[in-house]
Amino acid sequence: MSAVRTAPPPAFAPSKFARSLTLIVLVVAMVYFMGPVIWLIIASSKSTADLLTTPPFAFSQLNWVANWQALMSWTGGQFPRWVINSVIYSSLAGVVGTMISLACGFAIAKYQFPGRKALLMITMTGLLMPVALLTVPLYVLFQTIGLANTPWAVIVPSLVSPFGLFLGRVYAEASVPTELLEAARVDGAGEVRIFFTIVLRLLGPAMLTIFLFIFVATWNNILLPLMMISSDNLKPVTLGLYGMASYYAPNKGAMMLGALLGVLPLVALFLALQRHWRAGLAAGAVKG
């Protein structure tokens, strides 16, 4: 996907009218998709009184500091902790989840072992599983083994990603040449060493894509922490915000600032690693 396309030959060039009409459609769509984001940024700067009285799409008095203080006193100083929790849960699930997805994907792509087909089929039905429905029994299971209301209750279910495995397999098939593995074996390298020194290096771009997918899915999940986590200091930011939103008459300016801060790390990550996201989506779309 190149950013700038070569101009079409004059004979195929669309009319000026068609291009203006297209531009209008594109702008309307942009207003729809970006409007709420811009509104969120502006709303987060206002006091609740200003939110009610000033024009919604214009900054008035910048009230960020007061909103931050309100947010801190409202959450008993826990808010930064929640953001940090989200970062920790999502990163850990992302790193471990990526490693096990790649290892398993590599095994399925490059080894002949009994049960390989069955493993592939069963894990791929996991792709179409309504995962939210598993949260109810997962909660009971984790309570039984004593892991409910610990960080593990959020991390462990998040790091098993059938979609990550799917991508890992597709990438391993496409970019790990079997001859290279054979050559390394002839040179006397063990399988584990081959995986860590050769395979992971070849799968670098895949690694980042899978990491992003798992990271985002973990960050966005609300049902799992809602069921698993009851201690205030273990909440991820989405759960904390949900608790705040359910208050009677919440401080809306502080609420909007909290929402913005709960989104920023994710948006930053998205923008920074845009290219890799798209590569992953492309693999999914073409193979899927």
Partner 1 sequence: MSRNARHQALFGWLFAAPFAIGFLLVFVAPIIWAIRAAFFGSEAAEGGLYGGGARREVFVGFKNFAHAATNPGFWSGMGRVLAFGAIQIPVMILAALFLALLLDSFLVRRPGLWRLGYFLPFAIPGLIAAIVWTYLYLPELSPFAAALPDLDGIAFFLSPRLVLASMANITTWTYTGYNMLIFLAALQAIPHDLYEAARIDGASGWVIATKIKIPLVRGAALLAVLLSIIGTVQLFNEPTMIRTVATWMGNDYMPMLMAYNTLMGQISPSGMGPASAISILMAVVAGSLAVIYALVQRRIAR
- What residues numbered 77-136 form the site for partner 1, per CB under 8 A? 99-101, 103-104, 106-108, 111-116, 119, 122-123, 126, 128-134, 136
Sequential DSSP letters for 44-106: TTS-HHHHHHS-TTS--S--HHHHHHHHHHHTTT-HHHHHHHHHHHHHHHHHHHHHHHHHHHH
Which range binds partner 1 by CB under 8 A, 59-67, 74-82, 202-210, 262-270? Answer: 262-270
H or E, element range at 38: helix 16-43
CB of 162 to partner 1, least distance (A): 8
The answer to whether residue 137 forms part of the interface with partner 1 (CB under 8 A) is yes
Could you tell me which stretch among 2-10, 62-70, 73-81, 203-211 binds partner 1 (CB under 8 A)?
2-10
Part of the chain binding partner 1 (CB under 8 A), chosen from 64-72, 74-82, 189-197, 202-210 = 189-197
Residue 189: strand, helix, or coil: coil
Token pair, residue 229, equals 């986590």
Q: Smallest gap, in angstroms, from Cβ of residue 57 to partner 1? A: 6
> Considering only residues 25-84, where is the footprint of partner 1 by CB under 8 A?
25-26, 29-30, 32-34, 36-37, 39-40, 43, 51-52, 56-57
Task: Residue 164: name the closest of 265, 88, 85, 93 by CA.
Answer: 93
At closest approach, how far in Å is the CB of 211 from partner 1?
A: 15
Q: Which of 28, 59, 182, 191 binds partner 1 (CB under 8 A)?
A: 191
> In angstroms, what is the minimal distance from the CB of 131 to partner 1?
8
Name the DSSP letter for residue 1: -
Contact with partner 1 (CB under 8 A) among 71, 159, 206, 210: 159
Which of 61, 197, 233, 274 touches partner 1 by CB under 8 A? Answer: 274
The interface region with partner 1, picked from 64-72, 74-82, 191-199, 201-209 by CB under 8 A, is: 191-199
Q: Does 181 bind partner 1 (CB under 8 A)?
A: no
Residue given tokens 């397999």 in the structure block = 169
Give yes or no for residue 17 binding partner 1 (CB under 8 A).
no
Site for partner 1 in 204-223 (CB under 8 A): 216, 219-220, 222-223
Taking CA 105 as the corner, what is the angle to CA 157 and CA 125, rounded to the nearest 5 degrees?
A: 60
How many Å separate Cα 252 from the centre of its chain? 26
Q: How many angstroms separate the CA atoms of 273 and 216, rounded?
A: 12
Tokens of residue 177, six digits: 């040449």
Binding of partner 1 at residue 14 (CB under 8 A)?
A: yes
Residues contacting residue 155 through CB under 8 Å, at least 6 positions apart: 89, 92, 93, 96, 218
